[in-house]
Every structure is written in C-alpha cells, then in structure tokens.
C-alpha cells in the first residue's frame, strides 16, 4: 500500500507551532489534523503497515533494540529510495501517526529535557543531520541504508557492529568526513573488530581521540582517493596510536 | 579551502606556485532530470606545471574530482582523464552536489619539487602521500531538484496563537518560510491583504522584513540554505541580477530586500 503523508506546508506549520511552545504530542494525530487544519497527500512509496517496531525496554543500547528496528523499518518501507528517504514529510507523519508510540517510548521526556528542542530533534528532520542522526524513525532507516552500502548481504551483522554503543555509532555516522565515505566506515569497523579479537576493547575516550586524528587527516588528505589497502594502513596506524 | 593550511604547496591555492595555473571548464546539460536519469557532466582540466604533469604521466598523481552530496551523505573521489564526461546516476543524489576539481596524489613520492614553487620554498622537496592534493581550484556545484517551486509560493502566513496577539515572527527551518502571527495581527493581516490599497504597505513592512531574515540566513550558509525557499530565493536574486555578499551588513541586506520587493511595494503604492 502507498501512504498518506502531511503536506510540506503542514509539516512546516507544525514545526513553527512547536518552536513557539505547543506540544504537538499532547494530541493524537486525528485531533492534530482537525485542530491545526493540516493536510495530507498521497506519497508513492510502498508501506507495509503490518510491521510493528519493537518498543524499547530501557534506554541502554542493549535495551533499545535499535539494530532490530533498523531491519524492521527497512522491511516496512521495502522500496524506499535514498531520494524519497530525504523527504521530511514521510518521517514526520510516521512519527506522529503510525509509530507515535514507538517514538514516544524511544525518546521519552526527561526532567531536564528542553521539550521544544526534544520535539524538534526527534519528530522533525529539516536537514541531513536531523534525518540521519536524530529523527526517531529516519535515523533507523538511514543507519540501515549506510550499512547496506558497506555490505548489502550482511546488513544485520554490520548494524550490530555499528550500534553496539551509541557513541561509537554517532562518531561514525554523524560526521561528514567519515560517514559519507563508505570505505572509511567499513575500514573502521574492520579495524575495531580485528582489535577486539586481539583484546583491544572499545574505549570511548580513546575512540574519540582516534576520530579526532582521523578528522585532522581528512583535513589534509582526501580519504576517498585511497584504495582499500592504503586506507587500512593509514587508519590502523591512527587507531593504534590513539589506543596506545 | 583557501584558508586551510597544508604542509605542502598546492597549485591553485594562495600563491604557493608562480607562473603556473590549474583550471577546469565544467558544464552540465540544460533541462529537467527525473530520478534515475544519468547526469552527464563534461569537463576539461587545464594545467601548466611540468612537474605535476610529469607525476600524472607516471601515474603517481591523477586528475579528478571529489564529489560530495550532503543530501544523501555520499562523498567519493573519481580519478579522470584530462578531459571527458562524468556519468552520475541521479538516484544517488539530491539537492546540492559539490564537485571539487583536484590533482590527487595516488602513490607516495619523496622530494617532490617544481620550478614554479614560490621562492620562499627554496629548493625544498616535499614528501607526498596518497590522498594529498597537488592542485585544486574552486568547487563547482549544481542542484538536483525534482520539485522546484517559485519563491513566492514558499512564503506562508499562518495564525499562531502561541505568539502574543500583536506579534509576528519568521520560521526559516523548513522547506517553506512560515510567517506566524499572533491572533490580533493575523486578523488584521487577513483583512488588510484583501485591500489593494493596503497590500503594498504589507509588502514594504512584513514581507520586506521577512526577506531580510531570509537573506541573512542565506549569507550564514547554514543547513537551511538547502531548503526549497532558499533555492527559490537564489533564483529570484539571479533573475534580478542581484549579488549577495558573503558577509553582508544589515544595511546591505535591507537594500537588497527593498530591491526585491520594490515592484510590489513602493512602486505599486506610488502608482495607485
């Protein structure tokens, strides 16, 4: 089945009232449509509404089921192209309507949360950073997509490697220097896995140091020019230095 | 890029080289594209440094482009001949595609030097590694847009009861610019805009203010410049032959905004 989505004008209106302080999640979707006269249009994207996302059991990485939900969201939108996946209307609608409960459970308000920023970050996605890193649903689809660029036959395993730690994931996927170059992400995962087998376990501070040194290198060198062996040699050297 | 410091000379950036140049002629075909079509970009590099040309002939270096699409988060390098056509599938790109013309180092090389180096380098040689740049010139960018709209249709006035009754504000984060108005202001606006005598004054005040805010956002170059309204506004500036300075003062932005609005604003008010 195809899907009805909010018009872009409606999405922008909902964003504007959210920024002005209205909590759009205080109403259910139908009430939102009626109250703010927002409109829907048909979007030619296949959507399997029989698929449910797994609700999180907690906030820790092993409790949020992100990897599992990345696989499910790809099944739910089986022929979604990257171009259609940049369409904010789709994601805003899904997070307010069909997967409202999932989004609320996965991104609950905490005592110190700024509600406006929270809603904007996890229910809207006006730019690439929002789409790939923050929106409650699009981040799952894009994580799946970036992993399928790395290994289309083994997305599940790649996702597990990437999502075992939220900091590791965001370090990798939320920087243009790395995430946009598939071979770089692939090589970092490979090195991390190899080092883990050698007893060098993930360490947040050391990994951040590694990523900083990688950013420095990317400032002087075009990493996407390097072939597999060159990239492995250069990145492994940085990794070893950061972990020494 | 010109402000970035590199540990080796690069032709085309600042004045690392004298009496040598690096340029690219770059052209894309006119006409609309549909998702999945092939985008053919023709190019021809011009390079006038024998030392770099020599490395290219030895396959130590190569002409090419780094291609980056923020919209689909794809960044890749393509090594090319000196002239030819790049074929890109539009299914992988949307929005801005940035082409950075380069001469890339492909293999390590020790003691690279050129007769055209600026004298400050003396006869020093440089060790260069794969991924380093020998020459660079300004980025070329093009916009893949499958649903282009005119700027005027991307300005939307809406009642926003969350605001104080006599206030209005602009929201620039989405594809549309939302001009939100408190209840009293909105009621006044709806009535006023149906009166042709009053409309030019709305244009000269609210819409002109909105234009200043939008121009300011464009000059900041943030992520919103990828949005539909920003592209529409860029087209409008081009139509009017107006250039937007990179770091514009309020006064400059205000004058550009007035220029954009004058036909519907002051000129119409005077002619009535």
pLDDT per residue as tens digits for the range B15-52? 899 989 999 999 887 777 776 788 899 999 999 999 99
The percent of residues above 90 in pLDDT, for chain A, comes to: 64
Q: With pLDDT > 70 as the criterion, what percentage of chain B qualifies?
A: 95
Cβ-based contacts of A176 with chain B (< 8 Å):
68, 70, 73, 75
Question: Number of helices (H) and strands (E), helices first, in chain B?
Answer: 7, 13
Q: A199 — alpha (psi -120 to 50), left (phi > 0) or beta?
A: left
The residue in chain B having the minimum alpha-carbon distance to the alpha carbon of residue A146 is B73
Q: Using the predicted structure, report yes or no on whether residue A106 has a pLDDT greater than 90.
A: yes
Confidence of residue B266 (pLDDT cuts 50, 70, 90): confident
**Assigned token pair, B147:** 């649903």
Q: Is B148 on the interface with A (CB under 8 A)?
A: no
Q: Which of B66, B180, B224 sits opposite A20 (nearest CB)?
A: B180
pLDDT at residue B148, rounded to an integer: 63
H or E segment and range at residue A138: helix A138-150
- Residue of B72, B75, B162 lying closest to A181 (CB–CB): B75
So what's the pLDDT on residue B142?
84
Average pLDDT over residues A173-192: 84
CA A53 from centre of chain: 15
Phi-psi bin for B161: left (phi > 0), alpha (psi -120 to 50), beta?
alpha
Asked if the Cβ–Cβ distance from A127 to B68 is below 8 Å, we say no
Name the DSSP class of B17. Answer: B
Chain A residue numbers with beta carbons less than 8 Å from the beta carbon of B230 are: none
pTM of the model: 0.81
Of B64, B160, B175, the CB nearest to A16: B160
Interface test with A, best of B69, B70, B73, B95 (most A CBs within 10 A): B73
Going by C-alpha positions, the residue among B95, B96, B78, B74 that lies closest to residue B87 is B78
Residue B224 is predicted with a pLDDT of 54
Strands B177-181, B155-159: pairing is parallel
B130 vs A: CB within 8 A: yes
Position with higher pLDDT, A192 vs B143? A192
Which of residues B235 and A15 earns the better pLDDT score? A15
- Whole-angstrom Cα distance, residue A181 to residue A132? 15
3-state secondary structure of B143: strand
- Does B131 sit within 8 Å of A225, measured CB to CB? yes
Q: Which of B5, B60, B62, B72 to mutate to test the interface with A (most CBs of A within 10 A)?
A: B72
Q: Is the dihedral of CA B219, B220, B224, B225 positive or negative?
A: positive
Digit-coded pLDDT (tens) for B176-221: 899 999 999 999 998 888 888 888 898 899 999 999 999 999 888 7
Chain A contacts of B74, Cβ < 8 Å? Answer: 180
Specify the 3-state DSSP secondary structure of A17: helix
Instruction: Answer whether B6 sits within 8 Å of A220, measured CB to CB.
Output: yes
How far is B173 from chain A, CA to nearest CA, in Å? 7
The mean pLDDT of B70-84, rounded to a whole number, is 93
Q: From chain B, pick out residues whose CB is under 8 angstroms from the CB of A129.
A: 223
Give me the residues of B, 234-253, that contact A with CB < 8 A. Answer: none
The confidence score (pLDDT) of residue B1 equals 47
Neighbours of A84 (CB within 10 A): 16
Q: Is B158 on the interface with A (CB under 8 A)?
A: yes
Mean pLDDT of A124-141: 92
Asked which of B143-147, B180-184, B251-255 is least confident by mean pLDDT, the reply is: B143-147
Mean pLDDT for B91-101 is 88
Smallest Cβ–Cβ distance between B35 and the set A8, A83, A226 belongs to A83
Find the CB nearest A224 among B75, B160, B227.
B75
The whole-number pLDDT of residue B182 equals 93
pLDDT for res B263: 85
Q: Which residues contact B43 (CB under 8 A, 6 or more apart)?
A: B24, B25, B26, B27, B65, B80, B83, B84, B85, B86, B101
Least CA distance to B173: which residue of chain A?
A126
What is the distance between the alpha carbons of residues A23 and A116, in angstroms, rounded to a whole number?
Answer: 8
- Write out pLDDT tens, residues A197-217: 999 999 999 999 999 999 889
Q: Which residue from B95, B130, B163 is facing A226, i.e. has the nearest CB?
A: B130
The average confidence (pLDDT) of chain B is: 88
Please state the rounded mean pLDDT for residues A145-165: 87
């Amino acid at each position: 089945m195809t899907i009805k989505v909010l018009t872009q004008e409606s999405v922008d209106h909902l964003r504007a009232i959210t920024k002005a302080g209205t909590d759009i999640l205080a109403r259910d979707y139908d009430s939102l449509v009626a109250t703010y006269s927002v409109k829907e249009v048909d979007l030619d994207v296949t959507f399997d509404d029989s698929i449910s996302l797994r609700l999180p059991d907690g906030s820790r990485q092993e409790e949020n089921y992100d990897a599992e939900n990345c696989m499910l969201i790809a099944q739910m939108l089986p022929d979604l192209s990257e171009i259609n996946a940049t369409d904010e209307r789709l994601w805003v609608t899904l997070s307010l309507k069909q997967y409202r409960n999932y989004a609320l459970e996965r991104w609950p308000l905490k005592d110190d949360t700024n509600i406006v920023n929270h809603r904007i970050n996890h229910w809207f996605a006006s730019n690439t950073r929002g789409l790939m890193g923050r929106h409650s649903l699009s981040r799952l689809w894009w994580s799946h997509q970036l992993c399928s660029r790395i290994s289309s036959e083994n997305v599940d395993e790649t996702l597990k490697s990437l999502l075992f730690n939220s900091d590791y994931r965001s370090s990798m996927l939320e920087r243009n220097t790395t995430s946009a170059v598939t071979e770089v992400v692939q090589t970092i995962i490979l090195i991390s896995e190899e080092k883990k087998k050698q007893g060098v376990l993930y360490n947040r501070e050391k990994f951040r140091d590694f990523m900083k040194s990688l950013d420095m290198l990317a400032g002087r060198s075009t990493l996407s020019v390097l072939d597999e062996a060159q990239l492995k040699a250069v990145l492994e050297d940085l990794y070893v230095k950061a972990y020494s | 890029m010109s402000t970035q410091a590199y540990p080796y000379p690069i032709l085309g950036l600042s004045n690392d080289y004298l009496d040598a140049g690096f340029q690219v002629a770059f052209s894309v075909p006119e006409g609309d594209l549909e998702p999945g079509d092939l985008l053919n970009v023709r190019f021809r590099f011009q390079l006038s440094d024998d030392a770099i040309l020599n490395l290219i002939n030895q396959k130590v270096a190569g002409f090419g482009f780094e291609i980056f699409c923020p919209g689909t988060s794809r960044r890749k390098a393509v090594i090319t001949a000196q002239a030819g056509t790049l074929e890109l599938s539009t299914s992988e790109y949307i929005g801005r595609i940035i082409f950075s013309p380069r001469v890339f180092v492909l293999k390590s090389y020790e003691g690279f030097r050129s007769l055209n180096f600026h004298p400050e380098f003396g006869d020093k040689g440089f060790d260069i590694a794969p991924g380093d740049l020998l020459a660079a010139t300004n980025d070329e960018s093009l916009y893949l847009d499958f649903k282009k709209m005119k700027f005027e249709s991307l300005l939307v006035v809406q009642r926003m009861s969350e605001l104080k009754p006599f206030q209005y504000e602009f929201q620039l984060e989405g594809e549309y610019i939302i001009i939100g108005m408190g209840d009293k202001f909105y009621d006044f606006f709806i009535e006023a805009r149906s009166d042709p005598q009053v409309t030019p004054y709305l244009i000269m005040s609210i819409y002109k203010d909105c234009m200043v805010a939008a121009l300011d956002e464009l000059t900041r170059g943030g992520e919103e410049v990828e949005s539909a309204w920003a592209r529409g506004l860029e087209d409008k500036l081009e139509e009017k032959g107006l250039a937007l300075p990179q770091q514009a003062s309020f006064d400059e932005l205000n004058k550009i905004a007035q220029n954009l609005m004058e036909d519907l604003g002051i000129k119409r008010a005077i002619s009535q």
